[in-house]
Amino acid sequence: AGALDPRLHIGDIVLSIDAIEHDMDAGGLDYRPGVIPDMEVREGFDGTRFMASGELRALAERTAASALPDVHVLTGTVLSGDVFIASKEQKDRLTGTFSGAACCEMEGASIAHVSFLNGLPFLIIRAISDGADDGALMDYPTFEKHAAANSIKLCLGMLEDYEV
């Protein structure tokens, strides 16, 4: 994922509090960016944000403390869209539009959306691979493997600690 929160650096991990499809734009129908028109608002979805599982997030936080003691873990909003964010202008637009945005990527909110529709809990775990800015295209290939390795360690640790 690309870092939107200035406290995040390459190799850090984000655990979702919620997820937003930032490319959902029905502004021509007088909706704010991110609002999904005609979708029922109910527990777990406020019209824009899909709420992640607090139980899964707590498990990930506990696991990260032991499995990745030297990695900075932050909780926040994960933004998803169909574009790779690679400029300061794009990054500024996202952080100015969506409060609490920690990182941006391309899949998580879609999975959150499907999870919500099927009544399933979810948690998005993202390792920061770039700064979602003018250096993103250079940073991503360099740090992709490192970021993936941190995510794998965390997920495997969570599976070991998960209680059914």
- What pLDDT score was predicted for residue 136? 64
Please name every residue paired with 2 in a beta bridge, in sequence order, or none if there are none.
104, 130
b/e map 57-92, b = 16+ CB within 10 Å: bebbeebbeebbeebebebbbbbbbeebbbeeebbe
Of 44-53, 62-71, 116-125, 128-137, the range with the lowest mean pLDDT is 128-137
- What pLDDT score was predicted for residue 71? 93
- What pLDDT score was predicted for residue 97? 96
pLDDT bracket for residue 44 (50, 70, 90): very high
- What pLDDT score was predicted for residue 134? 78
pLDDT in tens, 114-161: 999 999 999 999 998 888 787 766 667 778 888 788 888 999 999 998
- What pLDDT score was predicted for residue 53? 98
Q: What is the mean pLDDT of residues 36-63?
A: 96
- What pLDDT score was predicted for residue 13? 94
